[in-house]
A and B are shown apart, each in its own frame.
Chain A
Amino acid sequence: MKTSTSQSRRDFIKSAGCLTLTFPLWTSCELAAGENAVPDSSLPRSLSRHPYISAWLQILEDGSIRVYTGKIELGQGIRTAIGQVAAEELYTHPDRITVHLVETGVTPDEGYTAGSGSIINSAMSVRYAAAAARARLLTMAAEKLKVKADALTLEDGNIQQDGQPVMSFAELLEGKQLEDKVDTPPELKPKSDYQWVGTAFPRQGIEKMVRGKEVYVQDLRFPGMVHARVLRPPAYQSKLESYDQVALEQRVHGLLKVVTDGSFLGVITEDEYQAEKAQQVLKNTSRWTRPPALPADQPLHEYLKTLPARKESVENKGNFTDGGKKIQASYFKPYIMHASIGPSCAVALYDQQTLHVWSHTQGAYPLRGALKEVVGLPEEKVHIIGVSGSGCYGHNGANDAATDAALMAMAYPGRHVRVQWSREDEHGWEPYGTAMIVEAEATLTAQGTIDQWKCELWSDSHSTRPSGDPGNLMTAHYLADPHPRTSYGYSGGGYRNADPYYKIPNLKIDAHFFEGPLRVSSLRSLGAYTNIFAIESFMDELAEKAGQDPLAFRLLHSEDKRAIAVMRKLEEMIKNQPVLQDEGVGLAFSRYKNSASYCAVAARVRVEKNTGHVQVQRMWAVIDAGEVINLDGLINQTEGGMVQSASWALKEEVRFDEQHVSSLHWATYPIFRFSDVPEVEVAVIDRPDQPPLGAGEAAQAPATAAIANAVYRACGKRIRHLPISPEKIKG
């Protein structure tokens, strides 16, 4: 490890438990322009961008350690995992470590908490920074004690000599922080010595939750805080014509301000329920223009193929001949929603020319970049504090609620303004996971292996996240001086996992990108969900044509030993399962992004042919996510991934009429309830010698495919259009 500076003159940060900390900007923690920005490629990406130890961890006056992450905790347990890796490298119990979630100007900018990247980038950056800190602490202590560094060790916040603590980290640093730059990988603690990493170290947050402690952005309370709601238009393209101020004043107590800007219509009250009432009064009394009709009168999969589309060749290898019997199938996934249990919420305060926004956004820095344009403030005057929210599973309403709060706080300075979206706001206005179509065609060799595979897919965008563009903030579309959506966003997610992770000599994949009728963005696993549903359904169809067992057929086309290992393990788990009349077991495999976690899933379903009801009885998963950081976190993510995916597969479809989305609550957008939920079992293949791969999105895609395959085995119906509804089973 190279060290280029020793300590800074920066003082200790006082230990503070509250959510607002006013810090000087850590400009020194980021690479300055012109500074050598060609890092060692073996360093985690986030560490390359923020190479100073103090950007990632600081020793507090009381001897505890604060770790900084540019990510947010949304139920995935990242706070605990990051604490574990820091604890390990510093030989200090995780209880002495607090993790500060993303906050602009305070933590590193790590973009979005997305794509199963938090372990790979943030936790690994913290690991390297902590390892570099350990080396530096030992060197400093050796100098101070005039002994050799190898005579010393670290133990729970202290420097030890001969097994006895001689001074604490805080005493050693004397009020300074470690400012060393980490530009080559430091020596890491041997994995054989690990105490916490790889174990099922429990998440401390759960006790706070059951005690009713302040956990979520929804729980924030500030003195003098006021409440706000925004009335969304009746349709995406409606414009506000008028609203009835008198009615508001008559029916709402403690009305403080109506904030209008073009077709943005918000209301601020002293009391929360009065804000909710005001939103209803506005809904009943406002007049809006009639927008162009949505295409509600024809089957969506047919309509989407009529839209203009941009074509992209994803893969084209080998030779295609007309020989061989072609096997064809077309798969469809409707729009589905994130459907967070807690609708989006934000608190904002405009005070002394600075806008502070507390948000559960997945990207505080990219939100800042977009929001500053909307409110017309310089970047350094927009301060975004990441606070945990309800699980979001992708880009939900968080950024838009933050924008709502920001606009109203700007119009009502000096007091904290809390915006709470209603259930209808979240269901009706979040950006959905796009509908997709996958058409597959294949031929088999005489030996029953896949010879040619052609796939054409149709998709809308898979990310319209803020990314510094105000046009990606939905609220900003409705302002008098609007920020229209300018960029199509990230389309690459459409063909994520479209390339089968199997040995196929002749392969052609084309993607067609349309702009569909509903607002869309990133939803957990992006296009991989539909592509794997299609590929893994099609693999079963091809296996049947080839007269082979589905698992044997997959193994026949697999080369990667880790892929084979998860499938073999799954086989072992399900081999003695009793399968009764009307029941079926199906399985599926994928390697997420073809470069991340390996996951094989099986499902056992029972199908009632008369009613069309499908009961998912039990699901099994085997996951190889490389090095395991938190065993229980990995299992929990995989269990939840299967359950969520089963709900998508069986129940979910965003519906719309001519005017707007009509799936506006849990009765019109049903998701799994307890009676629907299968028993689950997860096996983990730990590979401590391999890099961790992230696991939040590994199970969803194979889980749905496994269910579709199980349904076929139970009742002979091959369902290619999701959701697997009773009508389709009966039809």
Chain B
Amino acid sequence: MKEISLQVNGKQYSIQLEDTSTPLLYILRNQLQLNSPKYGCGLEQCGSCMVLVDGEAMPSCRMPVSAFADRKVITLEGLLQEDGTLHPVQQAFVDEQAAQCGYCLNGMVITAVALLENNQSPDDTDIREGMERCLCRCGVQPRVMKAIRTAAQNMTP
């Protein structure tokens, strides 16, 4: 057994595991029982498994958990305020009903949060570019774009 220390959603974890090549995704979903990052392709092609790593949106399905030691990992669960209030991006997705099946929603919200961190008033081209790595099969991308515009407005001080 090896031990890896991991910081997820502000909490410090010491993970015991046999195989340190295990991708972060499986640790988050199985050991830490977090539902939000989803298995989609295991190939970093679809964005379902996105997490924030030191503020940057990154896929978690391939990179071994050991690569994330001592970095700050945030998932959808960690975007909530302590009283359970949604992050403005999460709230915008609810307000705009920006989902059908919602399986891609994790990657959409995480990527949008990172996008708005770097660009507080993105235009449509910026949004498309920023969201390019996230796939949606139901075809809700127009609603996702709307949700991001709404979130940007609501986050402007």
Contact = CB atoms under 8 A, between A and B. Distances in A.
B126 to A, nearest CB: 11
Contacts of A573: none
B131 interface: yes
B99 interface: yes
Contacts of A210: 76, 86, 90, 93-94, 105, 109
A675 B46 contact: no
Interface in B106-157: 106, 109, 127-129, 131-143, 145
A24 interface: no
Given A75-B102, A77-B100, A253-B19, A671 B137 contact: yes
Interface string B74-108: 01110010000010001001100111111111100
A675 B145 CA distance: 11
Nearest to A216: B103
A211 B86 contact: yes
B89 to A, nearest CB: 8
Among B40, B102, B109, max chain A CB count under 10 A is at: B102
A422 interface: yes
Nearest to B91: A210
A420 B40 CA distance: 10
B19 A273 contact: yes
Interface string B52-86: 00000000000000000000000111001000001
Contact of B102 (A215, A254, A642): A215
Contacts of A642: 139
B109 A211 contact: no
A206 B135 contact: no
A637 to B, nearest CB: 8
B7 to A, nearest CB: 18
A640 B97 CA distance: 13
B40 A272 contact: no
Given A212-B76, A667-B45, A677 B100 contact: no
Nearest to A252: B19
Contact of A212 (B34, B46, B48, B137): B34
A439 interface: no
A147 interface: no
Given A209-B102, A212-B77, A391-B101, A672 B46 contact: no
Interface in A650-687: 665-667, 671-675, 677-680
Interface in A627-659: 632, 636-637, 639-644, 647
Contact of B100 (A76, A207, A219, A274): A76
Contacts of B141: 643, 672, 674, 677
A675 B45 contact: no
Given A76-B100, A210-B105, A276 B19 contact: no
A675 B132 contact: yes
A672 B40 CA distance: 16
Interface string A331-355: 0000000011111000000000000
Contact of A341 (B17, B40, B93): B40
A666 B45 contact: yes
B35 interface: yes
Given A207-B94, A212-B77, A219 B42 contact: no
A213 B48 contact: no
A212 B142 contact: no
Contacts of B140: 636, 639-640, 643
Given A207-B94, A211-B76, A674-B132, A272 B103 contact: no
A347 to B, nearest CB: 13
Contacts, number: 180
A344 to B, nearest CB: 11
Contacts of A673: 132-133, 135
A461 to B, nearest CB: 23
B46 A639 contact: no
Among A75, A342, A641, max chain B CB count under 10 A is at: A342
A562 interface: no
A339 B43 contact: no
B39 A273 contact: no
Nearest to B125: A675
A206 B30 CA distance: 23
B18 A675 contact: no
A428 B3 CA distance: 37
Nearest to B106: A212
Contacts of B80: 211
B128 A272 contact: no
Given A206-B97, A210-B105, A390-B103, A272 B139 contact: no
Contacts of A393: 137
Main secondary structure of the interface of A (DSSP, over half): loop
Contacts of B26: 271-273
Interface string A523-549: 000000000000000000000000000
Contacts of A672: 139, 141
Interface string A217-232: 0110100000000000
B103 A342 contact: yes
B35 A214 contact: yes
Contacts of A274: 18-19
Given A253-B18, A391-B103, A644-B137, A203 B97 contact: yes
A665 B61 CA distance: 14
Among B33, B35, B77, B90, max chain A CB count under 10 A is at: B35
A202 interface: yes
A595 B132 CA distance: 38
A644 B106 CA distance: 20
A207 B101 CA distance: 12
Contacts of A76: 100
B16 to A, nearest CB: 12
Nearest to A681: B142
Contacts of A665: 41, 43, 45
A391 B75 contact: no
A292 interface: no
Among A390, A644, A680, max chain B CB count under 10 A is at: A390
Contacts of A666: 41, 43, 45-46, 135
A114 interface: no
Interface in A377-429: 388-391, 393, 420, 422-423
Interface in B1-42: 17-19, 21-23, 26, 29-30, 33-36, 38-42
Contacts of B19: 253, 271, 273-274, 277
A74 B30 contact: no
Nearest to A200: B97
B48 A342 contact: yes
Among A74, A210, A271, max chain B CB count under 10 A is at: A210
Nearest to A699: B139
Among B45, B127, B133, max chain A CB count under 10 A is at: B45
A675 B94 contact: no
A342 B142 contact: no
24 contacts: A75-B99, A75-B100, A206-B98, A206-B99, A206-B102, A207-B94, A209-B102, A210-B105, A210-B109, A212-B35, A214-B35, A221-B33, A273-B19, A273-B22, A274-B18, A342-B103, A343-B41, A389-B103, A391-B138, A393-B137, A420-B39, A666-B46, A671-B135, A679-B142
Given A271-B22, A674-B128, 19 more contacts: A75-B102, A202-B97, A206-B93, A209-B99, A210-B86, A211-B76, A216-B38, A221-B30, A271-B26, A339-B137, A341-B48, A389-B103, A423-B46, A636-B143, A665-B45, A673-B132, A674-B129, A674-B131, A675-B128
Nearest 7 interchain pairs by C-beta: A75-B101, A643-B139, A212-B36, A640-B139, A391-B101, A75-B100, A390-B103
Interface of A: 74-77, 200, 202-203, 205-207, 209-216, 218-219, 221, 253-254, 271-274, 276-277, 339-343, 388-391, 393, 420, 422-423, 632, 636-637, 639-644, 647, 665-667, 671-675, 677-680
